[in-house]
Structure 1
Amino acid sequence: MQTRDDHWLLLRSLLAAAILSTVALLDFYAENMTALAGPSRVLHYAAGTLAITAMLAAALKIMLRRVPLWRILLATGLMVFVFCAYDIDPIHRELKIHLGHFAPLVWVSAALGTGIVALATIRNRAAVSIALALSAAFAAPSIARIATFATRGETARAAKSDLAGTRERFARSPNIYWIVLDGYPRQDVLAEDFKFDNGDFIRSLRGLDFTVLAKSRSNFPATVNSISSTVSFDYTVEGEGEALRPLPLQDMRARVRGKNRTVARLTSAGYTYVHFENGYDYLTECAPDEPRCVRGNVGLDELDIAILSNTPIVDLMVQHRQSTPFAWGGVDDLSAKLNAIRAMPSPFFLYAHVLAPHPPIRFRSDCSFRPADPDLQLWSPEARPAFVEQLTCVNSQTLALLHDITRTDPDALILLQSDHGTAFRGQFQKPPTAWTEEDLHERFGALDAMRLPRSCRAMAADDLTLIDTFPLVLSCLSGAEFKPHHPRFFVTPYDNSADFGRAIEYPAERVR
């Protein structure tokens, strides 16, 4: 017969197991909460992890009837805790260096071994209090960070000018297709840095009535900054000099997902906003309240991979990746959804952000699948030839897509752009102040091709920067005067950099 102490012991062991099995997810959310739209996806993983922990404990109890449940719960919690600690440096790095493809299997064995040792050695009831205290200590820093963030009341804020739009009429209202090929370099960068002649692709674009801007530049070298500034037609920074800062990530992500001046202006003129979700990049997924959402191939996306990378699961999948569960974000994903897009009320404005040709290097030149780690930041210099192969695949798929659009929608206004260039010179492994002219040229030189009404083509000067994209389009549609911005260029370091949270401005003459 169980006593009150037994019930209390069981409750404490259950709580310790729950914390141990989910502390990695708690840490993940604490580190990334400013970049996430909300905690729902992480909570789903936490619920799944708790369910798996409970099932493992139940299975062990069935097999080990004589072992007290509190011991089984502690052992299971410790086993899941170790399993979810796979991505901790330097342990993970050393495992990969010394064990290669065997690293995830060895770690799975280590997690199982931890559970077995715990079952065999934990017999003193005092271990429950110790485990609970230690698990609470592990969780406390992340809980404190989350609580601080919540009390500040930081929410995605969009400026009133982004959302407020008066009803207006345009002289013309063609369907607008904004297709962003992530990390697609400018033609001269491809020639200089990759020894690749992209002339056939450029000539094909011109044959489809595109104006290709030979000196186009991005204003930022990172996707969230570049896209949010383009759709806001304003530089998404605040302050000056040493106090110069990018806008909060939540603000910029909201703009990327449709809460921006471009969408406000176009919808006020009767346009339907259509958001294409490429299936891999978490940043460009549809907003929860977006009714006109078109999804690409469904699979594990960037957020899934970031969470699962805390465990050996991703590395185990990668070893069997000829049949991949990852949604790779190719141009064909968009082509396959054209009928769904055409069914939207016209006129429509489509924002379709395709991850290719950005790493991972996952396509060969014939678009067959190439084994690849699902890592968005693998800009390895030795991968330049493979990147060119991937670019060749992107070119063929993009031309097929554009031929389809222009055949079925001959009056379409099409913007084919990249958000930034490549980073094969290791730009993000050095401080922004150390970037050379060559570093800037590679990262800021961006593809920009516009299929505009004939009367507007003269506006598309060769050296326009991406921030002038939609001022030009809106001027074209309304007949208003087009006034280009004074070009400015900023580097906003990633969150794994010591300079994260700063914005560094470069003189325009350094960015050619």
Structure 2
Amino acid sequence: MPLAGGAVALVVTLTLWLSNMSRVPYEDALPTVGAVLALVGLAVLALRLVAGGWARAGLMSGVAAVYILYLPVAVFAVSPSAWMRGGLLLMGGVAAVLAARRIPREAPGVLAVNRKINLILVPIVIGIAGVVLLRQIDLERHRPAPDQAFAAFDGEASATSPDVWHLIFDRYGNNATLGGAYGYDNSAFLSALRKRGFAVNEEAFSNYQRTGHSVASTLNASYLDRLSSSAQAADWVPIYRSLTSSQALRFFERQGYETVFAGSWWNPTRRSGLADRNINYRAVPELGRLVLGQSAIGFALAQTGLAYGDGRGDQCRRATYKFEQLRELADEGSRKYVFAHFLVPHPPFVLNADGSCRSLAKATASSRRDNYVAQIEYANREALRLIDAILAGPRPAVIVLHSDEGPWPEPFVGDERFLGRDPVAVDWAGLNARQLAEKMGILMAIRHVDGAPAPAPASPINVYPQIINAYFSGKGVEPAPRHYVFESDAALYRFKDVTRELN
């Protein structure tokens, strides 16, 4: 049986999943595992044409899998230079071809080698798979289901109930932060919102300091205490599932609305299995991104700037694509609930103010302030274009525009030029009042259907109670706005109340 290639690929994929299991749920991991095995199967079929037999094709696929999935890890570890890495991988490729050519062609010889390789690799795969299964079972025992952890929204749509557009611009600071930390006056944008009928809360703070906690609490109109009673301390998955399977999505599904989920490259908002429609651009599941990123194929795609290899370019084009798609959606006459999460002005800094892509060289040469402000100005312009398209559309709509967290304060900043390298370990409970205000001060604005003046939500957790009560016959009580920080990535559910410090 031609198992070598699949066995090597499974060892790599399952090992990566095992080390990231607290962030990658099985519903996202298993499709990647299946896709990897399918690609290996196609490779075996192709190699069969030149190998002369299935056993030899399997061994050749094993050599190819070792080269593609294992050699780059060693090469990247010893060399920081792209040119040297390319040269070493080229030499490794030649060695792999020579090794494949030395595989015996005669049936007795190739079958003997294949049998030995299978007897080595298959038990390893079974062992790793067993560890993965046991770990997954243990984690799932402590993971509450989102529909059980949070109460369903109490309300019902009527013939006059409007569309709801919920737009989140990640790490968009409030006016005090933009002026104090970045020397940028955002008053023109806030005035443009008010002219369009928005109520703006210039003193709003996020309910939690990071996106996962903040958006999960917003979309479920609840604080996260219910998760803390059962979830393991460092397990992000209950929070992530609360994002993609939120009570907000469930409510509008029950009301017969078309639900639209416009996500980012970040796995928790990449897509929702509950939504009727997902809008995204070249978004790869987290485990697939990890496998591709450490492979020779990923290296080649990155060096050539081809699709799925240029993370910065894809991130730039993703923002533009989503705005275009949402403007087109605004012209549709069906009832709709739209949730859109934009990783703008969130790093990496890939956009110029005019919407063109910001090169790595320019982002590196520019100050953090200039990089961030360029994306603020891009977000402002595109947000107003989208808002105008919604207001010109055929359906009445409530539009919510806010941020889930503010920018990270100095000195708690990683590398903001590349995807996923900006977070660093922080003692969140030890931040001073100024740092807390910068991290949790956010944009918060809402436009009701008639554009009449009305108070903006006090904090993100109040968004849906306000909308359900106003337009869907809800009678719920809005939660009192409180503000928390979780202590660290090792204590995701141990919270410190920082409401007094912020106020």
Tell me what 1:421 maps to.
406
Take 1:161 and 1:256, find their aligned partners in 2: how far apart are those partners?
12
Alignment of 1:310 with 2:298, yes or no, is no
Cα–Cα, structure 1 residues 324 and 24, in superposed 2: closer, same or farther, change >3 Å?
closer
Shift of residue 475, structure 1, vs aligned partner: 3.0
Cα–Cα, structure 1 residues 332 and 203, in superposed 2: closer, same or farther, change >3 Å?
farther
Identity %: 16
Shift of residue 274, structure 1, vs aligned partner: 1.7
Cα–Cα, structure 1 residues 166 and 145, in superposed 2: closer, same or farther, change >3 Å?
same
Take 2:407 and 2:72, find their aligned partners in 1: how far apart are those partners?
26
Higher alpha-carbon deviation: 107-116 or 174-183: 107-116
Shift of residue 162, structure 1, vs aligned partner: 4.3
Alignment of 1:257 with 2:239, yes or no, is no
Residue 450 of structure 1 aligns to a residue in which SS?
Answer: strand
Alignment of 1:505 with 2:489, yes or no, is no
Shift of residue 389, structure 1, vs aligned partner: 1.7
Structure 1: state its 5+ residue gaps: 1-10, 63-67
Shift of residue 330, structure 1, vs aligned partner: 0.7
Cα–Cα, structure 1 residues 190 and 169, in superposed 2: closer, same or farther, change >3 Å?
same
Q: What whole-Å deviation, never above 9, does each CA across 1:200-229 have from its counterpart, x for those lacking one?
A: 222211221212221211122332221111
Tell me what 2:167 maps to.
179
Q: What whole-Å deviation, never above 9, does each CA across 1:19-59 have from its counterpart, x for those lacking one?
A: 11332112233334453334442134222331354156436
Contact 1:210 1:451 in 2 (8 A): yes
Alignment of 1:317-396 (within 5 A): 317-321=301-305, 327-328=314-315, 329-330=318-319, 332-340=321-329, 342-343=331-332, 345-346=334-335, 348-371=336-359, 383-396=368-381
Contact 1:86 1:310 in 2 (8 A): no
Q: What whole-Å deviation, never above 9, does each CA across 1:366-387 have from its counterpart, x for those lacking one?
A: 11123459xxxx9999544223
Cα–Cα, structure 1 residues 479 and 431, in superposed 2: closer, same or farther, change >3 Å?
closer
Alignment of 1:84 with 2:69, yes or no, is yes
RMSD: 4.0
Residue 283 of structure 1 aligns to a residue in which SS?
Answer: helix
Cα–Cα, structure 1 residues 431 and 298, in superposed 2: closer, same or farther, change >3 Å?
closer
Cα–Cα, structure 1 residues 311 and 252, in superposed 2: closer, same or farther, change >3 Å?
same
Higher alpha-carbon deviation: 356-365 or 110-119: 110-119
Take 2:93 and 2:225, find their aligned partners in 1: how far apart are those partners?
45
The amino acid that maps onto 1:143 is G
Q: 1:404 aligns with which of 389, 392, 399?
A: 389
Residue 3 of structure 2 aligns to a residue in which SS?
Answer: helix
Residue 189 of structure 2 aligns to a residue in which SS?
Answer: helix
Cα–Cα, structure 1 residues 301 and 206, in superposed 2: closer, same or farther, change >3 Å?
farther
Q: 2:268 aligns with which of 238, 258, 283?
A: 283
Shift of residue 415, structure 1, vs aligned partner: 0.3
Take 1:343 and 1:50, find their aligned partners in 2: how far apart are those partners?
42
Residue 206 of structure 2 aligns to a residue in which SS?
Answer: coil
Q: What whole-Å deviation, never above 9, does each CA across 1:379-433 have from its counterpart, x for those lacking one?
A: 9995442232222222211111112212336842110112212236335423424
Take 2:234 and 2:308, find their aligned partners in 1: how far apart are those partners?
36
Cα–Cα, structure 1 residues 135 and 415, in superposed 2: closer, same or farther, change >3 Å?
same
Q: 1:106 aligns with which of 70, 75, 88?
A: 88
Tell me what 1:466 maps to.
460
Alignment of 1:133 with 2:129, yes or no, is no
Take 2:4 and 2:395, find their aligned partners in 1: how far apart are those partners?
63
Contact 2:69 2:295 in 1 (8 A): yes
Contact 1:416 1:447 in 2 (8 A): yes
Alignment of 1:146 with 2:133, yes or no, is yes
Alignment of 1:51 with 2:33, yes or no, is no
Contact 1:24 1:310 in 2 (8 A): no
Take 1:228 and 1:306, find their aligned partners in 2: how far apart are those partners?
24
Cα–Cα, structure 1 residues 416 and 165, in superposed 2: closer, same or farther, change >3 Å?
closer
Cα–Cα, structure 1 residues 61 and 487, in superposed 2: closer, same or farther, change >3 Å?
same
Shift of residue 230, structure 1, vs aligned partner: 0.5
Tell me what 2:448 maps to.
452
Take 2:175 and 2:235, find their aligned partners in 1: how far apart are those partners?
33
Take 2:501 and 2:46, find their aligned partners in 1: how far apart are those partners?
59
Contact 1:421 1:442 in 2 (8 A): yes
Take 1:511 and 1:352, find their aligned partners in 2: how far apart are those partners?
28
Cα–Cα, structure 1 residues 82 and 170, in superposed 2: closer, same or farther, change >3 Å?
same
Structure 2: state its 5+ residue gaps: 414-422
Residue 365 of structure 1 aligns to a residue in which SS?
Answer: coil
Take 2:97 and 2:378, find their aligned partners in 1: how far apart are those partners?
47
TM-score relative to the length of structure 1: 0.78
Take 1:143 and 1:228, find their aligned partners in 2: how far apart are those partners?
32
Higher alpha-carbon deviation: 192-201 or 107-116: 107-116
